[in-house]
Amino acid sequence: MSEAPPSFRRGKVSSAGLLGILVVILTLSGCGIVKEKESAAEPSKSKRSVLHPESAIERTREISSSALDMSGVKGKVSPAGPIVRTDGQHKGNYYVHHAWSVGGVPPTEIKEGMERLRRELPKEGWSIEKYGRANSKARQMQLEAFHDGQKYLMQVEALIRSERGTDGGEPGNSREDLLSFTVMSPSYKFPEGADPHDE
């Protein structure tokens, strides 16, 4: 099923804008929230880069790997890989979404990983758009960043069971503490012959 893609722009993102545009997507473990930016900030169709989906997937995988390295968390990484999503509003366009997590480590390591990301991401061209408690009942720590050069969006959330007030046994909750990542590419145009919807 096709969906409208995320949109990207330079500068700060308002909290109200983020709340209005996000599609809630669960990581493989069933946790994590991803927000998609408003379509008004999306570049015009003619300005979107032409890129083969395989190249976009590899670029997204590299960004996720770099984020894990910057976090310094040495745990078990979920097997979920990047996926291509087509733009239901603009035929011929797509974006790449990668929701994954790392766990199997104490909560202190997850918290330290979040703090390291806050310090290290700006050194690699990321602008920190948000660093603080999520606007949810659990109030988990959340980081949102935007890469000005590559136009990627990243959201990271520290999913600590003891801070959620649950043992993780409820539906939709992870059974372990996790550092949850969502990495999203800008909208690209399929090169000729690569669009799966071409007849």
Instruction: Measure the CA–CA gap between 104 and 34, rounded to whole angstroms.
Output: 22
Question: What does the pLDDT read at residue 28?
Answer: 32
Rounded Cα distance between 175 and 16, Å, is 31
Residue recorded with tokens 């473990």: 29
In terms of pLDDT, which residue wins out, 197 or 31? 197
pLDDT category of residue 198 using cuts at 50, 70 and 90: low
The residue with greater pLDDT, 33 or 176, is 176
* Nearest C-alpha neighbor of 173 from the set 118, 132, 136: 136
What's this model's pTM, rounded to 2 decimal places? 0.72
> Which pLDDT score is estimated for 64?
98
Q: What is the pLDDT of residues 102-145, one digit of tens each?
A: 999 999 999 999 999 999 999 999 999 999 998 777 778 999 99
Mean per-residue pLDDT of the chain: 77
Closest C-alpha among 4, 35, 20, 33 to residue 129: 35
pLDDT at 47 exceeding the cut of 60: yes
Whole-number CA gyration radius for the chain: 17
- pLDDT: is 199 or 103 the higher one? 103
Average pLDDT over residues 156-169: 72
Whether the CB-CB separation of 98 and 82 falls below 8 Å is answered with yes
Q: What does the pLDDT look like over 55-97, one tens digit per residue? A: 999 999 999 999 999 999 999 999 999 999 987 667 789 999 9
Taking residues 18-34, report their average pLDDT. Answer: 34
Helix or strand or coil: residue 179?
A: strand
Name the percent of the chain lying above pLDDT 90: 54
Quick one: pLDDT at residue 194?
76
How would you classify the pairing of strands 76-77 and 93-103?
antiparallel
